[in-house]
Structure 1
Amino acid sequence: MVSLSNVQFGKTGDDVKALQRALIAAGFSVPDGATGFFGTQTRSAYAAWQRSIGFEGPDADGFPGCSSLTKLGARAGFPVDCQHPGSVAKSAVQYTKNSGIGRDRNTARAFALTACERTAAPKEWVTGMGNDANLLTLIERESRFDANAVNQDDVNATGPRQVDGARLNCSRGYTQVIPDAFAGNHQAGTSNRIYEPVANIAAAINYIWRRYGDISRVQQANPHLPPHPY
């Protein structure tokens, strides 16, 4: 079994090694071999695989999705799990706010680095990618470093009110995730509280991996581009 969540750019592990072996067996070059690290060589080979099965343009970007990975798994003989392993039921999400958390960049940076450790995201997601995209820019734009931020005015603000006084589907926390996204991308071993900083950021990291493939592709995280919902 290969988990989609384990074969994302920057990750290391046995699932990445299985992916690399499958690509090599299918005739796509990974010069360093099946190292178990998903770097630029693996991304290039995966993009070639995507093109070979009919993907074009931005759909052949070298970032695995459920469809392309399932097809590679069928060829190589391994099943694929597209469900995020730490996901929880939406009904399990809790809405108690934090107390005593500073609203500043350094506090957010410490939580973001811990979230990267929990999710195995590269620390460059905090310090800055090649195009300077980083989690701190995203957090500042989404919540102004307020771990208890909640948006009660946008289209997500629907449903019954919760213990925090906001409607069920509101965007919450540092990264302004909605409960559906938090539950579906919840990181195992973190809190079920949507406002808890590490759990909130970790869910956003997993969401970014699954939707964009890498934070460098998220406009909201790029300080050189105007803000844009992610």
Structure 2
Amino acid sequence: MVALSNVRFGKRNDEVKAIQAGLIAVGMNIPAGATGFFGEQTRSAYAAWQRVLGFTGSAADGFPGCSSLAELGARAGFVVDCRNPGAITKSSVRFSRNSGVAVDEATARAFAEQACDRTGAPRSWVTGVSNGANLLTLVFRESSFRPNAVNRDDVNATGPIQSDGARLNCSRGYAQVIPDTFAENHQAGTSDRIYDPVANIAAAINYIWRRYGDISRVQQANPHRDPAPY
């Protein structure tokens, strides 16, 4: 079994070794072989695999997604699990707000760093990766660094009223995640409160990994590009 959550850039484990062996088996080149470390050689080989599958541009950047990894597993003989291991049920999500959390960048940065540490994301996701994309840009655009932010007006604002006075499916918190996304991408060991700063950003990180493969591909996180839903 290969879990998508365990085959991210910078990881070293047996599941990375399994996908490296799979890439080699389908004709991709990794000069160092199946070392178990997901570095630039593996990223290049995975990008080549994505191009074989018909992905182009930023969709073929070497960061595994569920569909490409599942196809590699089907051809190389391993089973892929795309579920997030810390997932909770939507009914378990709580809606109590924060008290006494400052609304400023320094506070958001500290929480974002904790979320990176919890999820295993590199702290460069906070300071900015190669194209400048970073979590602080995303959080500012989504909530203006307000940990109790809730969007009552967009298409997600449906469902029964919850204990915070907002409808069930509203986007909430620093990264403006909806309860479905928060539950599916919940980080094990963090709070089940959607407004909890670390839990909220950690769920956003896990969502980004599952959907985009890397924060560099998220327009909303890139200060050099126009804001856009993520």
Alignment of 1:108-187 (within 5 A): 108-187=108-187
2:98 maps to 98
Alignment of 1:18-37 (within 5 A): 18-37=18-37
1:47 maps to 47
Which range moved further: 75-84 or 104-113?
75-84
1:216 maps to 216
Shift of 1:9: 2.8
Shift of 1:15: 1.6
Distance between the aligned counterparts of 2:114 and 2:36, measured in 1? 23
Which range moved further: 16-25 or 110-119?
16-25
Distance between the aligned counterparts of 1:223 and 1:31, measured in 2? 35
Shift of 1:19: 1.2
Alignment of 1:51-90 (within 5 A): 51-52=51-52, 54-58=53-57, 59-90=59-90
Quick one: which amino acid aligns to residue 135 of structure 2?
L
Shift of 1:76: 2.6
Per-residue displacement from partner, 1:179-213 (whole Å, max 9, x unpaired)? 11111111111111100011100000011111111
Q: What is the RMSD of the two structures over their aligned residues, measured on CA atoms?
A: 1.5
Distance between the aligned counterparts of 1:40 and 1:211, measured in 2? 21
Which range moved further: 5-14 or 199-208?
5-14
Which range moved further: 6-15 or 122-131?
6-15
- What SS does structure 2 have at the residue aligned with 1:62? coil
Q: Is the 8 A contact 1:46 1:64 kept in 2?
A: yes
Which range moved further: 79-88 or 159-168?
79-88
Shift of 1:130: 1.0
Q: Is the 8 A contact 2:65 2:212 kept in 1?
A: no
Quick one: which amino acid aligns to residue 222 of structure 1?
N
Which range moved further: 220-229 or 65-74?
65-74
Shift of 1:100: 1.1
Per-residue displacement from partner, 1:85-140 (whole Å, max 9, x unpaired)? 11111111110101111111111111111111111111100111111110011111
Instruction: Extract unaligned runs of 5+ from structure 1.
Output: none
For these two proteins, the number of residue pairs brought into alignment is: 229
TM-score, structure 2 normalization = 0.94
Distance between the aligned counterparts of 2:203 and 2:221, measured in 1? 15
Quick one: which amino acid aligns to residue 94 of structure 1?
R
Q: Is the 8 A contact 1:10 1:121 kept in 2?
A: no
After TM superposition, the runs of 4+ consecutive aligned structure 1 residues lying more than 4 A away are none
Q: Is the 8 A contact 1:11 1:121 kept in 2?
A: no
Per-residue displacement from partner, 1:48-107 (whole Å, max 9, x unpaired)? 22333x323144332222222122223332211111111111111110101111111111
Shift of 1:147: 0.7
Distance between the aligned counterparts of 2:202 and 2:107, measured in 1? 15
Distance between the aligned counterparts of 1:139 and 1:227, measured in 2? 11
Q: Is the 8 A contact 1:96 1:164 kept in 2?
A: yes
